[in-house]
Amino acid sequence: MTFRSVLSGLLRILFVVLVAYPIVRILMGINIRHRSRLPVCGPAIIAANHNSHLDTLTLLTLFPLRQVPRVRPVAAADYFLRNRWLAWLSLNVIGIIPITRTVRKSDPLSGCYEALDRGEILVIFPEGTRGEPEKLGQLKSGIAHLAERYPQVPVVPVYMHGLGQSLPKGTALLVPFFCDVYVANSLRWSGDRRSFMADLQRAFDALRQKRVRAEEDDSEPDDRNDATPTQ
């Protein structure tokens, strides 16, 4: 372990404590269902929906601080490396793994392979880009390539709701909205890319329906004197 890697790890922890925690836990508020399904160590892959720049911050707050340096969001190089200051922040403080979305002279997932080989936890947004607020876009198959190459690595679907209203694409003003996070059971490589992507889509759909049902249950009047919160 080099001095640079130690320093980068400390910077990531400080970023979560000083930036992510105040925004996600204090300013907005977060409710997570089935936190125990999150991986306790790597290699592992988090597959999450993507509506806001707050998505990455929120996901980082779900892990113990000691684990944060080993959680690596996968992000677009053309956006996060577009100038040297943003590149330094993205690489050294947030810890992204940049991937190229344009002309490809080499495998764009090579950085992901290296991270998984080191036993790290990848955060991937299978939609590829931020979509419309609170809508799930079409999933891209890059994650299936990773699952095929690493069939023993668990892929954990995570569905977030509320962040697309707090800071949607194209806006810079954060509006506090409560965030719900739902974690599914992990998926494994099914032997076929099409069936794996179908499994991932079904997992997202099931998590989304859980959130809708929870919202409907909360909106129903409860006149029982002994009513207690559900878990």
Residue the block writes with tokens 């997932």: 109
Name the DSSP class of 17: I
Indicate whether 69 belongs to any domain: yes
pLDDT at 15 over 90: yes
* Alpha helices (runs of H) in 104-156, residue ranges in sequence order: 110-117, 142-149
Tell me the pLDDT band of 202, cut-offs 50, 70 and 90.
Answer: very high
Residue 115 tokens, joined: 């991270």
Least confident window among 4-8, 63-67, 74-78, 109-113 = 4-8
**Total domains present in the chain:** 1
Residue 99 tokens, joined: 């991937």
Task: Provide the pLDDT for residue 39.
Answer: 94
Indicate whether 113 belongs to any domain: yes
Tell me the pLDDT band of 231, cut-offs 50, 70 and 90.
Answer: very low
Indicate whether 109 belongs to any domain: yes
Q: What would the mean pLDDT of 40-59 be, rounded to a whole number?
A: 91
Indicate whether 225 belongs to any domain: no
pLDDT at 219 over 80: no
Question: Position 13: which residue type?
Answer: I
Largest CA distance in the chain: 66
Give the distance, in angstroms, between the CA of residue 178 and the centroid of all CA atoms in the same chain.
17
Indicate whether 66 belongs to any domain: yes
Indicate whether 79 belongs to any domain: yes
Q: Quote the domain boundaries for residue 74.
A: 3-213
pLDDT tens per residue, range 101-153: 775 677 889 999 999 999 999 999 998 777 676 778 888 888 999 999 999 99
pLDDT at 167 over 70: yes
Task: Provide the pLDDT for residue 135.
Answer: 77
Indicate whether 223 belongs to any domain: no
d(CA 103, CA 171): 28
What is the average pLDDT score of the chain?
86
Indicate whether 218 belongs to any domain: no
- The answer to whether 158 and 50 are in contact (CB under 8 A) is no
d(CA 48, CA 181): 10
d(CA 157, CA 135): 16
> Rounded to a whole number, what is the distance in angstroms from the first to the last CA of the chain?
41
Q: What would the mean pLDDT of 68-82 be, rounded to a whole number?
A: 90
Q: Which CATH number is 181's domain given?
A: 3.40.1130.10
Q: What would the mean pLDDT of 182-201 be, rounded to a whole number?
A: 93
pLDDT at 225 over 60: no
| Secondary structure element (H or E) that encloses residue 199, with its range | helix 193-219
Task: Provide the pLDDT for residue 128.
Answer: 79
pTM, full prediction: 0.86
